[in-house]
Amino acid sequence: MRSDEFLRALDLLPAPLHDRALALRGYVRLRRCETCQAVGDAVRLALTAVHYDELASATQLLDTAEQLATPHNLACRPEHQPGRGQVRRWAATSAPLIAATDASWKGRAGGIGYVASDGRYGLRSRRPGRVDPTGFSRVLVSELRAVEFLLTAYDTPPVGMTVLVDSLPALRYLHRWQGGETGAMPASYDLRPRRAGMKPTLVRLAELVARRPDLRFAHVKAHAHHALNEAADSLAHMARRRVEEPFDVRPRAHDLAEAFLRDWHVAQAA
């Protein structure tokens, strides 16, 4: 089921069922994990049932999906999602979650990256598209896209999560959105619907941030030897280089994230 199909079906659900299905959205993506596939199948069937006004069946199917998902851990096995991975050693970290994001642009190649203290990390390459702004706004939009990439690594971003960014302009937008100014956007950012009617990435991010006052967005100085920031920066650069120089990024990204996370956790334990 494509994202636009999921969102259209979601709009047919009454409020309580809508929120329950939305929390399970991540399972609708194809995954290699059998349990995740079973949860996703139940959610897809629930959305099909509501299309035919079978609310009772939809409710039962969501019950089944939640029963499978709860002990299995939401957003299981991020390493099975394109561009994402996890250093499993830190998956059970109980301390408040801290993450860092970053972006990199050079010429006509860009990349974004993130890393979190629970071992999750991600990187994504990008060439400028027809709707992308130019100049300073291109970099700013990429910094914000990196935050969206991080937050969507979780079906529901953990309560109290701290997100570190080294771009003060990006931080100002995040704070404005969290304060309710969801209409504020970087200069020249195209607000027209994307493919299949999807909302633009930053519009979705602004709406998510506005609903989550518990999330904390903070500034971290770039290139100041902060392990999580350095990891996100390195992942973004790696993603950018891959645009012009194809290579298997997975082992390099995992080793890089593992090394920086080890330094981060050692420093926190000291």
How far is Cα 163 from Cα 191, in angstroms, rounded to an integer?
A: 25
In sequence order, what are the residues at sequence separation of 6 or more whose Cβ sits closer than 8 angstroms to the Cβ of residue 262? none
Q: Please tell me the predicted confidence (pLDDT) of residue 67.
A: 86
pLDDT tens by residue, 226-240: 999 999 999 999 999
Task: Find the mean pLDDT for residues 102-130.
Answer: 94
Q: Please tell me the predicted confidence (pLDDT) of residue 75.
A: 47
User: Lowest-pLDDT range, 27-41, 200-214, 235-249?
Assistant: 27-41
Top-confidence residue, 98 or 23 = 98
Tell me the pTM: 0.74
Task: List strand residue ranges (DSSP E) for 37-119, in order.
Answer: 84-86, 98-106, 109-116
Tokens 């080793």 map to which residue? 255
Single-letter code of the amino acid located at 193: P
In sequence order, what are the residues at sequence separation of 6 or more whose Cβ sits closer than 8 angstroms to the Cβ of residue 55? 14, 17, 49
pLDDT tens by residue, 183-239: 999 999 999 887 756 789 999 999 999 999 999 999 999 999 999 999 999 999 999
Q: Please tell me the predicted confidence (pLDDT) of residue 1.
A: 58
Task: Find the mean pLDDT for residues 236-257.
Answer: 92
Token pair listed for 15: 């409020």
CB 100 within 8 A of CB 163: yes
Structure confidence at residue 98 as a pLDDT band (50, 70, 90) = very high
Q: Please tell me the predicted confidence (pLDDT) of residue 74.
A: 46
